[in-house]
Structure 1
Amino acid sequence: MKLHHQIFLAMLIGAALGAITQEQSTLLGVPVLASYDLVGTLFINALKMVVVPLIVTAIISGMVGVGGGKNLGRMGMKTVGLYMMTTLVAVLTGLLLVNLFTPGIIDGEPAKDLLGLARDTGTVLEKIEGRGAGDFTAILLQMLPPNLVQAAANGQMLGLIVFALLFGFYLRTEEGPAGESLRNMIDGIYQVVMRITMLIIRFTPLGVMALIAATVTRTGLDAIEPLAWFFLCAVIALAVHAFVFMPALILLMARRSPLRHLQAMTPALLTAFSSASSAATLPLTMECVQKRSGVSRRTSSFVLPLGATVNMDGTALYECVAAMFIAQAYGLELSMATQFMIVITALLTSIGVASIPAASLVAITVILGAIGLPAEAIGLILVTDRVLDMCRTAVNVWGDSVVTILLARSEGEERVLSLPVDEMETAGPEKAEARTGP
């Protein structure tokens, strides 16, 4: 059975197990929910274990393989431009639909009294206490951390990416035996880390089953009922961006089949959905883009690690919808200038959001503070956050992969999506080039 079929089956089994399990359920004296958490945590930890070495070596290796300075500058500018463009469109899509649906207005009245606050609001407020608009400065400071090891331990990948970019840039120009040996060593480490990663990925179905089972056990289906309109609005906005705008880019700019790329990315998207972590999904994303979509390692190693940190289409969209929903629930009439501030703030904060589950809750408090809403209002959306976190993470990963396809095609890579996915997986580069031409 192919991996994405295994993952889909594991999701169904996990949902069924979660539906028949309660938080107090035990099996042979062992708490069932704790067992789900153990397996799911082991899987996520295993993926996160390889994220730092994979990101650093992949970016350095990708920078070395980009070529001359003109090629590097051209690809870098196109990558940043596409990432900013897709994220801006995502935020505007969310803003349009939340104004259209007005989920915070129930029967013509603000929904504040009907919604109330979630029970664990205080816990979240402890984590985000002291956050505000000044966090933009903190995001800039993360780009040049004084201690790379500490930055890696704290999940601040932005500093590692900047260091890897600088290291790879100057390693390209290092001549002589020392430079050649270092390039070979970096490439060797990258290959070994990828092999370890693929070993971990074999256990993806088991990890996905445990993660889904734990989520369903805790929340059930009733958890999202009071916020059904907000949930529906966010999901529709994410779907419009992912399945209308992004496929249109593949069709019009890359002139390739969006459905073929969707089929190729299915394992990574299901893993992103279940884990709610684009960083943990990055190894599988790179595997799918390279082996199933046919993008070169040169392009994917440069674009994907960068996108896993700075390109958060789904997160930015969700932040905008959540802030507008809370404003509507409080009965605030936001002017166009205030809504524009929300758009810009969501765009900027999404860059600094860590690619781990629920990290965007912190960024939302920045937006709430910018428009004058109390941070306590974040409690309104905690009930549905886990499910929506899974959805927006999948959109984040999908957006990264689409930009990679566009970059690869703009760089003249003809192998991209040139064969059916099954043939792409079994065909080596030589066979694929023979079928598609130089």
Structure 2
Amino acid sequence: MNPIRWKLHWQILLALVLGAIFGLFILPGASEGFQSATLGFCAFVGSLFMNALKMIIVPLIVTSIIGGVMHLGGEKGLGRIGGKTLLYYTTSGALAVTVGLLVVNIMAPGNVDAETAQAMLGEAEITSADQGLIEKVEGRDASDVVEVFLRMFPSNIVDAASNNGQLLGVITFSILFGLFIGKLNPDLREAQQKFWDSAQQVMLMLTEFIIRFAPIGVFGLVTPKLLEAPFDKLLGAILAFFLTVLIALALHFIISLGLILKFFGKVRPIEHYKAMSPVLLTAFSTSSSSATLPLTMETVEEEAKVSSKTCSFTLPLGATVNMDGTALYECIVVLFISQLYASAGGVALDLGQQLLVVFLALTTSIGVAGIPAASLVAIAVILPAVGLPVEAIGVIWATDRLLDMCRTAVNVFSDTVGAVVIARSEGETPYGNVEHSTPKIEH
């Protein structure tokens, strides 16, 4: 009898459950030797899996985008699908920040008594110093948003590709390279197309091979995080903040993106949620949109039936600039800190300042995406703009690691929704739902 082969999302879910059992229940009470050996194993397999994913990110992006742009039909096709992609990313990001603004004002997690607020803000300054948060964001300001355009055209493309997170330059180069392949004479153009198509197929096969080991890698990544999570600090206002972010992310994830899927993608939302479950679990485990990209592209193409042409352009770009969950998080953090200062005797942000936070959260989530500690840098840009000290970042440090996993999953899921919506607008039929597509008149 053949052994039962579980689908990938069930394997990853089992790895998450085992990681939770070990991280929360077994390791805290285990002997020092067993704990050290287990954490050593987790560090090895987790790093090995992440390194393997990072190894294929740049070649996968290059081959996919060049191959995709080649088949877009020249500059007109590229401009059309590029415009739709940017429109979707802007709209979904604006919806996410709006949801965050509404939820944080309704739940008001920072509205506590003055003594609690003063104690938390005092502790925040100590945490910021101890964790080196100020050094990470020192010297950052709104000019980082402008620098996104400079990162699109790096002086050294190889150096840009080797720096973690600096993918905008690689994407720009790949788009231009694929675009100018279309200007070659037919013989040279055909040779280039065969080369890049075959290179893309090799990268997809390599990706599929690496993804087979995702459950082991997920266990190694999640277990230490849960063991180190400061659950004792998730009390009072911090717990209220934690729940506020989770509720806002859930509302955007289920309602906003679900309605976009239904009315613009013309697919059943539950069908897409189910199909993307391996992607969501991997994004949650790795806390990296870029590291999840290989699995995202494979799953959207195979499960959602979105063409390689659409996936190759929208998903790599989305993994770099589409940050719904991050923008939502930035908005809530800034307003939570402002509520704490108001509770401690300060002045609450007025409507105009809150709208400024919304605008800055949306723009900085894109502009600082390629910078290490991106969320911290983005928040450090927004806080001074509304008259709040950067040191207050420390107040949310205890929850940042766990919430980073959650907002990354929302970031990645929004990318997949965008691919489905854009595919539908291009006349494709995601999930084969031809009955939902616009009927064509036969002549």
CA distance in 2 between partners of 1:203 and 1:356 (Å): 29
Superposed displacement of residue 149, structure 1: 1.4
What secondary structure sits across from 1:42 in the alignment?
helix
CA distance in 1 between partners of 2:422 and 2:38 (Å): 46
Superposed displacement of residue 135, structure 1: 1.4
What secondary structure sits across from 1:174 in the alignment?
coil
Q: 1:259 aligns with which of 270, 274, 279?
A: 270
Superposed displacement of residue 396, structure 1: 0.4
Scaled by the length of structure 1, what TM-score is found? Answer: 0.91
Query: Which residue in the other structure is 1:424 paired with?
Result: none
Query: Which residue in the other structure is 1:288 paired with?
Result: 299
Superposed displacement of residue 101, structure 1: 1.0
CA distance in 2 between partners of 1:249 and 1:349 (Å): 24
CA 1:26–1:98: 2 relative to 1, 3 Å: same
- The yes-or-no answer on 1:275 pairing with 2:286 is yes
Structure 2, unpaired ranges of 5+: 1-5
What secondary structure sits across from 1:111 in the alignment?
helix
- The yes-or-no answer on 1:78 pairing with 2:88 is no
| Preserved CA contact (<8 Å) 1:92 1:343 | yes
Query: Which residue in the other structure is 1:128 paired with?
Result: 137
Superposed displacement of residue 41, structure 1: 1.6
User: Once structures 1 and 2 are overlaid, which stretch shifts more, 274-283 or 149-158?
Assistant: 149-158
Name the amino acid aligned to 2:227: T
Scaled by the length of structure 2, what TM-score is found? Answer: 0.90
Superposed displacement of residue 214, structure 1: 0.7
Q: Deviation above 6 Å: which 4+ runs of structure 1? A: none
CA distance in 2 between partners of 1:355 and 1:287 (Å): 23
- The yes-or-no answer on 1:326 pairing with 2:337 is yes
Superposed displacement of residue 334, structure 1: 0.7
Query: Which residue in the other structure is 2:215 paired with?
Result: 205
Query: Which residue in the other structure is 2:228 paired with?
Result: 218
CA distance in 2 between partners of 1:152 and 1:196 (Å): 19
Query: Which residue in the other structure is 1:371 paired with?
Result: 386
CA 1:62–1:25: 2 relative to 1, 3 Å: farther
Name the amino acid aligned to 2:162: A
Query: Which residue in the other structure is 1:411 paired with?
Result: 426
- The yes-or-no answer on 1:389 pairing with 2:404 is yes
Superposed displacement of residue 158, structure 1: 1.1
| Preserved CA contact (<8 Å) 1:10 1:205 | yes
| 1:65-104 alignment, distance < 5 Å | 65-104=71-110
Superposed displacement of residue 317, structure 1: 0.5
Q: 1:339 aligns with which of 340, 351, 354?
A: 354
CA 1:30–1:113: 2 relative to 1, 3 Å: closer
Superposed displacement of residue 324, structure 1: 0.8
CA 1:216–1:28: 2 relative to 1, 3 Å: closer
CA distance in 2 between partners of 1:30 and 1:130 (Å): 38
Q: 2:152 aligns with which of 130, 134, 143?
A: 143
Superposed displacement of residue 357, structure 1: 8.6
User: Once structures 1 and 2 are overlaid, which stretch shifts more, 378-387 or 129-138?
Assistant: 129-138
Superposed displacement of residue 24, structure 1: 9.0
CA 1:43–1:119: 2 relative to 1, 3 Å: farther
Q: 2:22 aligns with which of 10, 17, 24?
A: 17
Name the amino acid aligned to 1:159: G
Structure 1, unpaired ranges of 5+: 420-431
Superposed displacement of residue 256, structure 1: 1.2
What secondary structure sits across from 2:182 in the alignment?
helix
Superposed displacement of residue 114, structure 1: 3.8
Superposed displacement of residue 26, structure 1: 3.8
Superposed displacement of residue 247, structure 1: 0.7
Q: 1:53 aligns with which of 45, 48, 59?
A: 59
CA shift digits 1:322-369 (9 cap, x unpaired):
111111112241122211211111111111344799531221111112
| Preserved CA contact (<8 Å) 2:326 2:411 | yes
CA distance in 1 between partners of 2:425 and 2:48 (Å): 39
- The yes-or-no answer on 1:156 pairing with 2:166 is yes
What secondary structure sits across from 2:142 in the alignment?
coil
CA distance in 2 between partners of 1:23 and 1:362 (Å): 37
CA distance in 1 between partners of 2:148 and 2:338 (Å): 25
CA 1:202–1:356: 2 relative to 1, 3 Å: farther
